[in-house]
Structure 1
């Protein structure tokens, strides 16, 4: 039996172009306005400190949205996101540079592509590791 060449337009190990954002009250306030999420720990340093952090901190779902943007921009209309998930492991603190990154982990027999994705701060500490599955069919 002859094996067909893959029609998937990516290769295992391919890195996605990073998506970078500076964080702080201005960004969090816009996100909160869109999502009606004006929670004190995201808006007030004293509330963040009372919760055990050095300051207010960004919304977890904002990091999820950065990962979604990362994958969507990489796809550039060539396919669709089937699944996307992440775990919030470290806070997005005021003044950090958050970078969403990803790499093609595998190409499944059905042609779907599994991505290893994550956000990290300017020091390389992972904030929200995750996975995504995309389909080019």
Structure 2
């Protein structure tokens, strides 16, 4: 597929996020902080309930981008956590092509992307930036 600067990538939705999704990610990542699976612990820390591990949303964003452009094409991927994600949240990934250029080091033609994971509330859970070889 050919891209132009300003092109919006097709959106993709994940969820609704279940507590099982959160716990499964904890098992896969080795992050067993009880704030993500133990209701009493989360409430004692001042939260209304358990909440998702931020890297789970980052993994959804990476899956979204690599499914579109290919896992072997990733040249750079970074994220910023913006808002917590709760059980039953519906997460929508979107992206925009911000630049098409030739990488100075490799000489490859690459696309720079701005990526976002938005909750059903409109809140931004994750903001991301990526570079993919074309």
TM-score category (smaller protein): 0.7 to 0.9
Aligned pairs (5 A) from 1:1-137 = 9-21=2-14, 22-76=16-70, 80-110=73-103, 111-136=109-134
Higher gyration radius (CA)? 1
Query: In the aligned structure 2, how far is the partner of 1:18 from the partner of 1:47?
Result: 35
| 3-state SS in 2 of match to 1:18 | strand
Q: 1:64-108 CA deviation, whole Å, 9 max, x = no partner?
A: 10111111111147x601111111111011111111211111112
- Structure 1 residue runs of 5 or longer lacking an equivalent are 1-7
- C-alpha distance in 2 between matches for 1:126 and 1:90: 6
- Count of residue pairs the alignment pairs up: 128
Q: Distance in 2 between matches of 1:80 and 1:42?
A: 32
Unaligned residue ranges in structure 2 (runs of 5+): 104-108
**Hey, what's the Cα distance between the residues in 2 that align with 1:90 and 1:45?**
19
Deviation at 1:19, TM superposition (A): 2.6
State the TM-score, normalizing by the size of structure 2. Answer: 0.85
Q: Secondary structure, in 3 states, of the residue corresponding to 1:16?
A: strand
